[in-house]
Amino acid sequence: MIGKMYSSTADNSPAFWGLRPSTPEYIPLDSEEGKSFSEITGFQPDLAEIMISARKFPYGFFRVKENNYAKTYKYFVKIVSHERFAMEKFSLAIMAYLHSKGVPCFVSNLIQGQNRKGKYCVTISPYLEFNYFSGMRSEARAMGKLLRVVHQALTDYPKAEQIKNNWQKRYKVFTNLRDILHQETPSWWQWGPEKKGMLITGFPLLNFGQDIAQVVHGDINFGNLLFPYSANNPILIDFENSKYSYFPVYFDIAMLLERFFLVGRDKNEAEQLFNAFQEGYGEIQFDKLFMSMKAMTIRSLFLLTERTFKNIITPASEWKKFFILLEQSEDKCSFLIK
Ligand SMILES: Nc1ncnc2c1ncn2[C@@H]1O[C@H](COP(=O)(O)OP(=O)(O)O)[C@@H](O)[C@H]1O
Ligand SMILES: [Mg+2]
């Protein structure tokens, strides 16, 4: 599979407007793939198609019909590494909880798939025909409404205490990384002293008051916010990041603002979209938002730092993306600072 759509770490990630994926495309499986897919998931191979993506088979996204006569697809199947089982489980539990609270959300099944080559984590959801955000104000308003009810419902998430601890542990790890960066420049650091300084001076932004924090989504981007054909309102998916995201709600809003409304648009358009968002969400305090935008980028940069210290290779483009965002945030947000 050499087609290119996106993967979560590749430089064609859908996090940003200009790089957003178009509506996903699917193609039939070849016979080898079909056999393997069937072994892992139990589905009949000729009923399935694979999404064109940068993932290496059998990892990837699939859609499956219920039977040969069906015209539409019934299931959306995601196969990832078995190591991600716990993360996926966590994400699905939050979505099921939101659903139980009346927030439009998927309820999915998680199974352990297996073939001769290994074990896999398989998520099975209802298949959805959807669009990504297309830049309309009505969509921005609907996103505001959605995030409001999601945040409201997450205020009493039963596992909040665990998530708070997860973040506090992460914060300690980041503190250590900050100290290391302060004392030395790791051999892999290729961004010069100025950018290292940005991480160090930005770090205190992650030290917000815990009393204003709650469970949030933590990874709001184009790929995780879908507008179903069948409904007027969007839905949020992929709550994996929530596992560590005990933050002020402004962190989510800032991320949304940055990725959906700021990148690739002029200030006037951004302001209009943001105003529409506020009509849905309720009034937002701008000063907090501005700091949160920087904080989220600093968090992302520390996550990359953590990964690199663990010898997980991250494309240079990922680093560059966040440095650009950090530098741009002042200018782009001038409309917030009236
Ligand atoms: N239920 C679904 N129906 C159709 N497409 C879906 C569904 N869930 C996810 N997708 C597609 O898969 C993409 C990635 O899904 P996601 O769960 O966020 O995976 P990842 O954790 O790899 O980011 C989405 O952007 C969307 O294109
Ligand atoms: Mg995602």
Ligand 1 touching residue 224 (CB < 6 A)? yes
Residue 122 in this model has a pLDDT that exceeds 70: yes
Ligand 1 touching residue 128 (CB < 6 A)? yes
**What band does 18 get if pLDDT is binned at 50, 70 and 90?**
low
Do 123 and 171 belong to one domain?
no
**How remote is the CA of residue 153 from the centroid of ligand 1, in Å?**
22
Residue scoring higher pLDDT (2 or 209) = 209
| Cα–Cα dist 186/167, whole Å | 25
pLDDT for 272: 95
**What band does 20 get if pLDDT is binned at 50, 70 and 90?**
low
- As a whole-number percent, the residues of the chain with pLDDT over 70 amount to 91
**How remote is the CA of residue 234 from the centroid of ligand 2, in Å?**
15
Residue 183 in this model has a pLDDT that exceeds 60: yes
Do 170 and 200 belong to one domain?
yes
Do 55 and 167 belong to one domain?
no
pLDDT for 313: 87
**How remote is the CA of residue 130 from the centroid of ligand 2, in Å?**
14
- Residue 141 is part of a domain; what is its CATH number? 3.90.1200.10
Residue scoring higher pLDDT (334 or 71) = 71
Do 145 and 124 belong to one domain?
no
Do 301 and 266 belong to one domain?
yes
**How remote is the CA of residue 13 from the centroid of ligand 2, in Å?**
9
Do 116 and 155 belong to one domain?
no
Do 34 and 143 belong to one domain?
no
Residue bearing the CA closest to ligand 1, atom 22: 8
Q: Which residues contact 330 (CB under 8 A, 6 or more apart)?
A: none
Do 151 and 278 belong to one domain?
yes
- Whether residue 207 is contained in a domain is answered as yes
Ligand 1 atom at shortest distance from the alpha carbon of 14 = 25
Residue 7 in this model has a pLDDT that exceeds 60: no
- Whether residue 11 is contained in a domain is answered as no
Give the pLDDT mean for 154-181. 97
Do 119 and 190 belong to one domain?
no
Do 126 and 153 belong to one domain?
no
Domain boundary among 91, 112, 130: 130
Owning domain of residue 38: 24-130
pLDDT for 13: 40
Give the pLDDT mean for 47-61. 95
- Whether residue 203 is contained in a domain is answered as yes
- Residue 88 is part of a domain; what is its CATH number? 3.30.200.20
Total domains present in the chain: 2
pLDDT for 9: 34
Report cis status (omega within 30 of 0) of the bond before 193.
no
> 232-286 pLDDT, tens per residue?
899 999 999 999 999 999 999 999 998 899 887 888 999 999 999 999 999 998 8
Do 65 and 93 belong to one domain?
yes
| Cα–Cα dist 234/218, whole Å | 17
Q: Which residues contact 217 (CB under 8 A, 6 or more apart)?
A: 150, 224, 236, 239, 241, 242, 245, 252
- Whether residue 154 is contained in a domain is answered as yes
At 248, the amino acid letter reads P
